[in-house]
Structure 1
Amino acid sequence: MEGIHQVQLPLPFPLRIVNVYLMRDGDGWTIIDAGLNYPPGQAAWREAFNRYGVDPASIRRIVLTHAHPDHYGMAGWLQSLSGAPVALSAGEATFARAQWHSDSRAHETTAIFFGSHGMPRDLMATVAEDIASLRLMTHPTPVALTHIPAGEPLMIGRRVFVPIATPGHSDDHLVFYCAEERLLLCGDAVLIKITPNVGLWGWTHGNPLAQFLASLDRLAELDVALALPGHGPPITRFHERLEELRVHHAERLAAMEHAVGAGATAYEVCTAVFPLQELTSHQMRFAMAETLAHLEYLAAQGRIEQIEHDDGQYAWRRCIC
């Protein structure tokens, strides 16, 4: 697309790459998503600036689809180079402050939350360490965040984008749709080679899988010829991919319901469905969160129910009501 450059930034975990975008914006530039702040990521940005002739002072703004660390982490670093404002949805800004600022204890509360669903103590400790290390790769955090309301047109160069709320992967994820060019900047709402992680965390609002599936329905109403995602290659068969994601989650729900059986913790369901021996601790926490999201969805449908034991531990069983 004219005036749009995809920049692939490295990540220090199995996902390996996050896609961010440099977009011509008049005589300057807008950045879509930021990457994770560690030396290889900074080097990749500097190389991209040299390749495309970008003076950091000409960066007008940094727009984020959501505040997960691989999309948010270098926003403050880019802001320190450019002086540009950082913009995202109000909900994601609140999430970023709670998770990534220096006084956050989110790594501890997340580990405790997983522990109440059966995660062993040694893995809880590793998960907390992993999240605490990630938080350091979001510093410096931006000095100020501006909010992007869903539905309010956003002009980038000659293109008019409409921000669309697509909760599920994160609570207040935004995508940006240019109807004239049938172009979608879709962040992690839709990916082609992997499925977006839909997880239930200690801070998650409501039923994330139900929200994700509703977001797919909302996106199905758009006429999209090209979607530019946060990971993996560009998507040209957009509506087919939406259907594939629906099928994937239907199959995953069936597998989770079967694994619950007469009773199981979320961790037991997780280890029955995911190949635990093949997962890093980083991947394991996402598998656990995804398991909980599917169990929450099944419970909302009346297919299973949650049990709280006297010791504060939770389990799930086939619904007998």
Structure 2
Amino acid sequence: MKPLRSAVFTAVERSLVAETVIVIIEEFLNNAFRKGELTVGLVAVRPIEGCGKLRRWYRATISVPLPILNVNVYLADGDPPILVDCATMAEECRDGMLAAFDATGVRPELLVITHFHPDHAGLAGWLENLGLSVAASVGTIELMGYYSRGRGPFEQTVRAFHSKHGTPEGAVEEICNVADWSSLISFPRHPVAFEPGERVAAGLMLVDAPGHCYGGACLWDEAEGVFLANDQVLSGITPHIGYEEHWTPEADPLGEYKRFLSRLRGFYLDQILPGHGEELVQWEDEVQRIEAHHSLRERHLLDLAGDDIVTAYETARRIFPGADSGIQLRLAITEAMAHLQYLVSEGLMERREKGGIFVYKANVGVSALERDLAPCEVTRGNN
């Protein structure tokens, strides 16, 4: 691997630090890379162990200006060289992405976006301008079009949704402000749409991944035994499964997500490469942990509802008492909605409209055993 040149060295040179200091810094970083991980400014790069039959995968962890703090993007050599996901449009992310290209020696020609959240898709238009082709699922490209219309239509949808589910006006206003991602995303002009089951490159299949984001997709590299899972399965964190504001009243994201986890066991996987955190080799344990978490959360909601009538906002404030503002409140409400919708679809709760607001109530046929409650951890939201 050739010595890495990045914005870090440029800054050192501009400060006119002695050449010997520059050499020491370069040697330190190159030694770090030989040990398996290279940290440069706001990016850390490492090769994925066990790959190399068809392509070699690398993970680049890039800091992002969001509560989740950083995101994993993945690069692979081969024909064509590939980049999976791309951080936000912040200047530090652009610098980190270029540093990752230098560190790995991969010059990607194809960017695959797993889902349209700003930490995973923000640089898409910028990278397209650099010459990369941009690919995503049909649903993700639909979502791009939805957000690209500007804040006006988006804000109307968000405001109507949260008002309909009992959110106070002040909180609705704050949610509208933090839900505007326009400064974090550059929209590609010519994305290529793929359907689940199609191959975006040789041996790399697009897999439908519902629950975390509308249009979400994973990538399965069967030859290498790796599954690029975006935010569907994370190490030690329960992914945010939310009912997003533009979905239909019949949508059941949690039910679809549970079915995705069941299907995952049918894939040949040596390891899962997540959108945040470390690679998962014992990934089945994480899947079981996530399934158990959601089962417990459902019992919690049934107990909270009891004989009362509750809104999604009231439910969110009870199960996520610390999520009282901004993005965390939005995530709490949409996750509460996903669980309420699932319980309605399973016949354990009923939903009706009262005074222009949707309310939920546990069905009278739900047994005391189904309402039995154990303490429940608060889910950590992420984008």
TM normalised by structure 2 equals: 0.76
**How far is 1:101 from its partner?**
4.1
One-letter code of the match for 1:235? L
Q: Which runs of 5+ in 2 are unaligned?
A: 1-47, 366-383
Q: Is the contact between residue 13 and residue 282 of structure 1 (CA under 8 Å) also seen in structure 2?
A: no
Structure 1 position 8 matched with structure 2 position 73: no
One-letter code of the match for 1:34? C
Aligned to 1:129: 177
Q: Is the contact between residue 185 and residue 227 of structure 1 (CA under 8 Å) also seen in structure 2?
A: yes
Aligned to 1:285: 330
One-letter code of the match for 1:73? G
| CA distance 1:295–1:78, change in 2 (3 Å) | same
Aligned to 1:148: 194
**d(CA) in 2 for partners of 1:79 and 1:11?**
20
**d(CA) in 2 for partners of 1:259 and 1:251?**
12
One-letter code of the match for 1:109? T
**d(CA) in 1 for partners of 2:302 and 2:143?**
31
Partner of residue 199 from structure 1, selected from 242, 256, 271: 242
Question: Over residues 13-68 of structure 1, what are the superposed CA-to-partner deviations in whole Å (9 max), with x where a residue is unaligned?
Answer: 22111111111124x621101111112211211222232335xxx43111111112
Question: Over residues 109-132 of structure 1, what are the superposed CA-to-partner deviations in whole Å (9 max), with x where a residue is unaligned?
Answer: 113211221112111111111122
Give secondary structure in 2 for the equivalent of 1:105.
helix
One-letter code of the match for 1:128? C
One-letter code of the match for 2:238? T
Give secondary structure in 2 for the equivalent of 1:37.
coil
**How far is 1:279 from its partner?**
5.5
One-letter code of the match for 1:74? L
**d(CA) in 2 for partners of 1:80 and 1:20?**
19
**Larger radius of gyration, structure 1 or 2?**
2
**How far is 1:182 from its partner?**
1.7
**d(CA) in 1 for partners of 2:123 and 2:155?**
20
Structure 1 position 77 matched with structure 2 position 126: yes
**d(CA) in 1 for partners of 2:59 and 2:148?**
26
Aligned to 2:185: 138
Question: Over residues 199-241 of structure 1, what are the superposed CA-to-partner deviations in whole Å (9 max), with x where a residue is unaligned?
Answer: 1122225210010001011111112111101111111111111
**d(CA) in 2 for partners of 1:289 and 1:135?**
20
**How far is 1:104 from its partner?**
5.5
5 Å-filtered alignment, 1:23-172, equals 23-26=76-79, 29-54=81-106, 58-81=107-130, 83-102=131-150, 105-132=153-180, 134-139=181-186, 141-155=187-201, 160-172=203-215
Structure 1 position 303 matched with structure 2 position 348: yes
One-letter code of the match for 1:78? L
Aligned to 1:318: 362
5 Å-filtered alignment, 1:185-264, equals 185-204=228-247, 206-261=251-306, 262-264=308-310
One-letter code of the match for 1:69? P
**d(CA) in 2 for partners of 1:30 and 1:74?**
15
Q: Is the contact between residue 150 and residue 165 of structure 1 (CA under 8 Å) also seen in structure 2?
A: yes
Identity %: 27
**d(CA) in 2 for partners of 1:153 and 1:320?**
48
Backbone CA RMSD of aligned residues: 1.8
**How far is 1:103 from its partner?**
6.0
| CA distance 1:211–1:23, change in 2 (3 Å) | same
One-letter code of the match for 2:85? D
Runs of 4+ in 1 over 4 A off after TM superposition: none
**d(CA) in 2 for partners of 1:19 and 1:107?**
29
Aligned to 2:225: 182
Q: Is the contact between residue 311 and residue 358 of structure 2 (CA under 8 Å) also seen in structure 1?
A: yes
**d(CA) in 1 for partners of 2:137 and 2:227?**
17
Q: Which runs of 5+ in 1 are unaligned?
A: none
One-letter code of the match for 1:289? T
| CA distance 1:308–1:268, change in 2 (3 Å) | same
**d(CA) in 2 for partners of 1:108 and 1:215?**
31
The size of the alignment, in residue pairs, is 309
